[in-house]
Structure formats: structure tokens, C-alpha cells
Amino acid sequence: MDSLEAYIQMGGQHHPLIDLAIAHYQFETIHPYSDGNGRLGRILIVLQLHNAGYLSDPYLYPSAYFNRNKQAYVEKMRAVSEEGNWRDWILFFLDGIEAQARDSYERTFELIELRRDYETRYPHSKTSHKLARSLFDLPYFTANEVESRFDVSRQTAYNAIEELEADGLIVEATGKQRNQEYKAVDVFDILERSTV
């Protein structure tokens, strides 16, 4: 671990993305903890990309690619250990980073377009319109949060919720009669959509 940390700190010997592939392989091979190495290793990818200036914010989800291609992920790393096949591992790793970057960009663009649509469809200052425009900051909420955020009565909060439910923008997510929670349908459709 000390050698890996030193390698990361000094900036490596190769292009930063190549060094990131090497560092990730090394971390996963060292496997320093009894649990959570995979999650931590993938978090480190995002932090290192951010630190290297490739991400302005840590909005990349490499786990999605690695989980979709788990067998190849394991086989490529094993080939490095058993055959010294760095080339295939690095290409696989870079393909994953590129795929997830494209996916993040596309989802972000879709969210921006959806926000513009909501701003056009819900331009007024009434609570339901303000709530519709706020679904990007508050994609999962309760009636109490609507009351508090917009400083309105409980009935006004429920009226706004009912209006957006009728428009199909939100759904009740718990199935309960009390302490209900609502989620933004279109926002979650974009965020939770599986990638092929």
C-alpha cells in the first residue's frame, strides 16, 4: 500500500488515465481490507479523476460499467496477474471510463432539457409550479418538506402534490396512507435507467 500510495502521489509515469488503470488494478490486487475493497476502489477512481482535473465534480459512476461487465473485469485483471497482459486491462478500463462519461453527459443533458420543459410548462408562482421546477433539487420529498420549503399551509402543500400527481410528474413511493413520500417520475426515469 505504501508503494501504491507513493505511485499515486508522485503522479505516475504515464498519462494520468493509464496511471489510474494501473493504480486501480494494484489496489484491487492488494485487497487491503476484509470488506469493501471494490466500492472503495471505484470511489478512488472518481476521486483521482477529480484530482487530475478530468471531473469538475465527482459525477461519474464507474461501478455501473464494471458491474455490467463483471466477468470481463475479473478476467482482464487476472490476465495481468497471470500473463502480464496490461494492454487488454488498460483498454478495458479506459473503455469503461469513456462509456460512463458519455452516459453521465447524456443523462445530464436529458435532465437539463427536462428542467427547461418544466420551466416552460410551470412558469407561475403558485406552489404546484414552484414544486414542479424544484423536482431537480428535491426529487424525493414529503408533504412536510413542501410546507417548509415554500412556507405554505399543509393543505396548500397537498393541493400542489395532488396537481403534480395528476400531471404524472410525481408518484407516491411508499404505498402507505400516512407519512407518504413522493418521487419525481421523469427525474428518476433518467437517473435509474439501465445502460445497455
DSSP-assigned letters across all residues of 88-105:
HHHHHHHHHHHHHHHHHH
Give the span between the Cα atoms of 43 and 60, in whole angstroms.
9
Range of the domain at 187: 122-192
Query: Shortest CA distance to 185 belongs to which of 117, 132, 126, 128?
Result: 132
Q: Which residue has the cell 478530468?
A: 54
What does the alpha-carbon distance between residue 13 and residue 30 come to, in Å, rounded to a whole number?
20
Contacts of 47 (CB under 8 A, 6+ apart): 58
> Are residues 83 and 42 part of one domain?
yes
168 and 83 within one domain: no
Among the candidates 102, 130, 150, a domain finishes at: 102
pTM over 0.85: no
Q: Percentage of the chain surpassing pLDDT 90?
A: 71
Phi-psi region of 55 (alpha: psi -120 to 50; beta: other; left: phi over 0): beta
User: Residue 165: is its pLDDT beyond 70?
Assistant: yes
Question: Is 173 in the same domain as 142?
Answer: yes
Are 97 and 133 found together in one domain? no
114: in domain? no
The answer to whether 146 and 160 are in contact (CB under 8 A) is yes
Calculate mean pLDDT across residues 109-133: 97
pLDDT of 125-164, one tens digit each? 999 999 999 999 999 999 999 999 999 999 999 999 999 9
